[in-house]
A = this chain, B = another copy of it.
Amino acid sequence: MFESKVYVNRRRALTEGMAMRLSGDKGIAVFVGNVDAAMNYRGNDYKFRQDSNFMYFWGIDEPWFAAVLDLDSGAECLYGNDVDIDDIVWMGPQPSVASKGEAIGCPSTAPLAEFDKAIAAAVAAGRPVHFLPPARYYNVMKLAYLTGISTDAVRKVAPMAEDCGRHASLELVKSVVALRLIKEQCEIDELDKAAEIGYLMHTEARRGCKPGVLEQEIVGRMEGITLSKGWGTSFTTILSQNGETLHNHSHHQIITPGRLLVVDAGAQSNSYYASDFTRTYPCSGKFTTKQREIYDIVEQANELAYSLTKPGTSYWEVHLATVRYMLDQLKSLDFVRGDVDEMVACGISGLFMPHGLGHNMGMDVHDMEDLGENYVGYDDDQKRSPLLGLGNLRMARRLVPGHVVTDEPGIYFIPALIEQWKRDGTDKGFVNYAKLAEYYDFGGIRLEDDILITADGARRLGPHRLPIKSADIEAIMANE
Contacts and interface: CB of A to CB of B under 8 A. Distances in A.
A112 B146 CA distance: 31
A369 B44 contact: yes
Interface in A94-141: 135-138, 141
A400 to B, nearest CB: 23
How many copies the complex holds: the figure is 2
Contacts of A366: 41, 43-44
B417 A89 contact: yes
B224 A89 contact: no
Given A137-B137, A224-B227, A229-B220, A39 B44 contact: no
Which of A41, A46, A370 is most buried by chain B, counting CB atoms within 10 A of its CB? Answer: A41
A278 interface: no
Interface in A362-396: 363-366, 368-370
Contact of A227 (B223, B235, B370, B417): B223
A223 B235 CA distance: 16
A422 interface: no
A37 to B, nearest CB: 5
Given A42-B135, A52-B40, A365-B44, A228 B220 contact: yes
Given A91-B247, A220-B226, A370 B41 contact: yes
A199 B91 CA distance: 26
Interface string A237-254: 000001001111000000
| Interface size bracket, A side | 35 or more
Contact of A42 (B43, B91, B370): B370
Interface in A197-231: 216-229
Contact of A228 (B217, B248, B272): B217
Given A40-B52, A137-B137, A216-B229, 20 more contacts: A38-B135, A39-B46, A40-B51, A40-B272, A40-B364, A41-B369, A44-B364, A85-B416, A85-B417, A85-B420, A88-B414, A90-B246, A91-B248, A216-B227, A219-B228, A220-B224, A221-B224, A222-B224, A223-B227, A224-B228
Interface of A: 37-47, 49, 51-52, 85, 88-93, 135-138, 141, 151, 216-229, 235-236, 242, 245-248, 272, 354, 363-366, 368-370, 414, 416-417, 420
